[in-house]
Amino acid sequence: MIDNRNLSMLVDFYELTMGNGFLENGCGEEIVYFDMFYRKAPDNAAYAIAAGLEQMIAYLKNLSFTDEDIEYLREKGLFGEPFLDYLRNFVFKCDVWAVPEGTPVFPLEPIVTVRGPAMQAQLIETMVLLSVNHQSLIATKAHRIVEAAQGRPVMEFGSRRAQGYDGAFYGARAAYIGGVAGTACAVADIAFGVPALGTMAHSWVQLYDTELEAFRAYAKVYPDDCTLLIDTYNVLKSGMPNAITVFKELEAAGHKGRGVRIDSGDIAYLSKMCRKMLDEAGLDYVGIVASNSLDEYIIRDLIMQGAKINSFGVGERLVTSKSEPVFGGVYKLAAVEKNGKIIPRIKISENVIKITNPGFKTVWRLYDKESGKAIADVLTMSDEVIDDTMPYEIFDPIHTYKRKTLTSFVAKKLQVPIFEKGRCVYVCPPIKEVRAYCAEQLETIWEEVRRFENPQTYYVDLSPKLWNLKQELLRQGAPGAKQ
C-alpha cells in the first residue's frame, strides 16, 4: 500500500442514497450481479490492458466506516439510523471474479463481476471503476508506446505532469505492467518495485560555469553510469563535443560512458549526427536517449526516419494518456437472485453500444491449437461450458450470418475468483510477474489486431443461449413498460 488512507467514503453520493433506499424498501440484502466492462478502447485500438486489480482488492479488504464517516452522514439528514448502523458494522460479503492484471481485454466483456447484497455491490461501484479504469488506461497507452519503440527500452518520465499524486505513482505502476523498463518516480519503486531511473536535468548543466565542467562533475560522481544531457545550449556545437571529451577521459580512467540524452530539437536529425560523431570518436558503445513530449506516433515516425535512438523517455503523453485521457469502463447490473433463481436484467438504449449483455456470465478466450493465437472471445451463461474437444461454432453477434466452426482450439476462462463471500482468495503476483504475463498474453494477439490504425476486428461473441436470452429480453422491452 502506498499510504494508510481510509478510502471507504470515496463513493458517488448516490451509492449511499441508493443503499439507504434499498434498506428502507427491504431489498438491501437481495443478491445482485454487476459487470464492470468498457465499450470502446482508447485511441481507436482493438483492445486494452487490464490493470488496477491489486488496488481494487486492497480497497475491498479494508472497506469499513469510521465514527467520523457515520457522523458526517447523519448530519446530511438523509439517512436512517438502520442504514448508519449497517455501515458502522459493515462486513464485506460479496463474491468477486476478475481478469488478472496484464490480460488483453476487449470491449463489452466483463473485466470484473460482483455478486452480493445489493447495498454492498452498489456501494463499491466508484472504487471498482476508479481502480480499474485509471490503471487500464495507462497500461494500454504504455503498451502502445512500447510497441512503437520496437524493442528499444522506454522509461516513464511523467510524474511532474500527472493528474495528482495518485496519478503519478499508480500511473508508473500501470505503465510498468504495460511494458516500460522503469520510471522516474522513486516512490513507485519503493511501493511497487518499479525500477526507478534517472540522470540529470538542465539545471545541473546551468549550475556550472561551463558545460564541460558540468559534464566532468557528473562523470566524477557516476563514472560507470554516466548519461549526459547535451541539449542545454547547442547539441552539435557544444553538447556532443563536450560529452565526447568526458567519455574519452572516462575511457582513459578505465570506465565507459553510458549515453547522451537529447530533449529538444529535431531529434531524428540530431540523433543521426550524434551517432556519427560518437562512432568517429570510437565510442560506438555509448547510447542515445530521446525524450521531449513523445508518444507512440512520434516514436514510430522517428524510427521510420532512421533516427539513431537506443531508448526513449516518455512523460506527460504516457502518464496522462493525453490523446484519450478517459477509459470508459462502466458498472452495470446484469442479474438479480430471487429464491435461488438468477433472473437476468438488461439495459436497453437507442444507442446500440449501450445495450448490455444480461445474466451471470463466463468469459472465454479461444486459442488456435497450432499457432497459440487468440481466435475470439465468447460470453456464455455461467452454467455453460465450452468443450474444446468438440467442434464449436462462433458467430458475429451483430451480423449473425458470419459464422465459423472451430475444430482445433483451446478454451480458457479469463476471469478468476478474487473474493468468496467477502474473503479474499486471490494472491496478487509480484509486479515483475504481472509485466511478464502481460507480454506473454500480448503475443497471443494477432499483429493485425494490434496495429495502431484500422486494427482488424476481434470478435467478442455470445453463445447461442446468451444471444437468444438477450433477443428475448429486447423483444419484451423494459420490465414494467407494459402494464
Model pLDDT for residues 432-470, shown as the tens digit of each residue: 999 999 999 999 999 999 999 999 999 999 999 999 999
Start and end residues for every CATH 3.20.140.10 domain found in the chain? 13-138+325-476
199-292 has which CATH code? 3.20.20.70
Class of domain 13-138+325-476: alpha beta
Examine the pLDDT at 80 and tell me if it is beyond 60: yes
When pLDDT is cut at 50, 70 and 90, the band that residue 5 belongs to is confident
Q: Would you say the C-alpha torsion 170, 173, 179, 184 has a positive or negative sign?
A: positive
End-to-end CA distance of the chain: 52
Q: What is the pLDDT of residue 208?
A: 98
Q: Which triple of cell numbers denotes residue 192?
A: 511497487
Q: Which helix (H) or strand (E) holds 182?
A: strand 182-183
For the entire predicted model, the pTM comes to 0.95
Residues contacting 188, CB < 8 A, separation 6+: 168, 169, 172, 173, 176, 194, 196
Examine the pLDDT at 50 and tell me if it is beyond 80: yes
Q: What is the pLDDT of residue 399?
A: 64
Lowest mean pLDDT among 93-97, 227-231, 347-351: 347-351
* Strand positions, DSSP E, 339-428: 341-344, 361-368, 374-381, 392-395, 403-406, 409-413, 416-420, 423-424
Model pLDDT for residues 279-317, shown as the tens digit of each residue: 999 999 999 999 999 999 999 999 999 999 999 999 999
Percentage of the chain surpassing pLDDT 70?
97
Start and end residues for every CATH 3.20.20.70 domain found in the chain? 199-292
d(CA 294, CA 42): 17
Examine the pLDDT at 395 and tell me if it is beyond 60: yes
When pLDDT is cut at 50, 70 and 90, the band that residue 403 belongs to is confident
- State phi, psi for 376 to the nearest 5 degrees: -170, 165
Q: What is the pLDDT of residue 134?
A: 98
What average pLDDT does the segment 140-167 reach?
96
